[in-house]
A and B are shown apart, each in its own frame.
Chain A
Amino acid sequence: MAAINGTLYGVFYGATNKLFSTRSASLKVDVNLDDVTTKDSGGWAAHIDGLRSWSIDFDGVYDETDAGATSMTPIEILAAIIARTADAECAFKPDATTTGTGWKGNGTFKSITLTGDMETGIKFSGTIQGNAPLVAIDKT
């Protein structure tokens, strides 16, 4: 089994808009496990599957020089949040030239934070909140 370089995996918003200048991205998938423990559970906790949800957290170094049609900068993300832009297909997947499993589903930008610390590059971080089922995809 071969390890996979995380650099190859990006976050995409819309069909092709890759979030530009990221350093890290994390796909998180949750399911609520509702407690159904009773006196008859023999002293063991029991649960049933509840609501599922997913989100993608990302962070990077602020760079506004690449505002091309195939990438998405923090400026555009911030504008999308302010405009309450409708959800779009989001993906956590390798770029088009790399094989590997990815995941996609409709999502909305939930937040973005820009941090300008002294004597260092401006950083940004944010979250995409899933708004529909998440499905596995192969490569694209």
Chain B
Amino acid sequence: MSAFKDISYDLINGIFTVLDGNVTYDSTDYNVYKSLPKAAPDNYVHVTGVIQTEDGTKDDFHYYGTVQVRVVTDNVMRADKKLAQAIMNVVRGLLKTSKEAVFDCSPSSLIVFKHESFNELIEQSDEIGKVTLIDIYSFLIV
């Protein structure tokens, strides 16, 4: 049997591979990041925040937890959520093409990938009107 491991990168990279180059809305492509650059664009998707716990069998390790997919938009006029919601809609369609669909997370194996909950964060000032929509997915990886 395999040794105990950290599956965070396998999962984040699996989500990134599904999304990267494919998040397009209204003929505009949006960047997808596993780690944010110092100078990020106004609008992007960020895959982050893996929380994991091991709860396997007597013979092997199973990893349960959650991961966040964040859609961030910045509109200097106002914190309008329409664009963020549209991008989130595209992201959801890519990650869950059907009810039972799971994507490749090799070398780990993704068994369950399920939408768990949703949250939003709005930051406003004279210079920014940033909207962050956060989809939280639960997973089972072996």
Q: Residues of A at under 8 Å CB distance from B? A: 7, 10, 20-23, 60-61, 63, 66, 71, 119-121
Contact = CB atoms under 8 A, between A and B. Distances in A.
A63 B57 contact: yes
Contact of A121 (B58, B59, B111): B111
Given A21-B57, A120-B112, 16 more contacts: A7-B58, A10-B58, A20-B59, A21-B58, A21-B59, A23-B56, A23-B58, A60-B57, A61-B57, A63-B57, A63-B59, A119-B114, A120-B140, A121-B62, A121-B112, A121-B140
A121 B112 CA distance: 7
Interface of B: 56-60, 62, 111-112, 114, 140
Contacts of B140: 120-121
Contacts of A20: 59
The 7 closest A-B pairs by CB, nearest first: A119-B114, A21-B57, A7-B58, A23-B57, A21-B59, A61-B57, A119-B112
Contacts of A60: 57-58
A63 B112 CA distance: 14
Given A120-B140, A121-B140, A66 B59 contact: yes
17 contacts: A7-B58, A10-B58, A21-B59, A21-B60, A22-B57, A22-B58, A22-B59, A61-B56, A61-B62, A63-B57, A63-B60, A119-B112, A120-B140, A121-B62, A121-B111, A121-B112, A121-B140
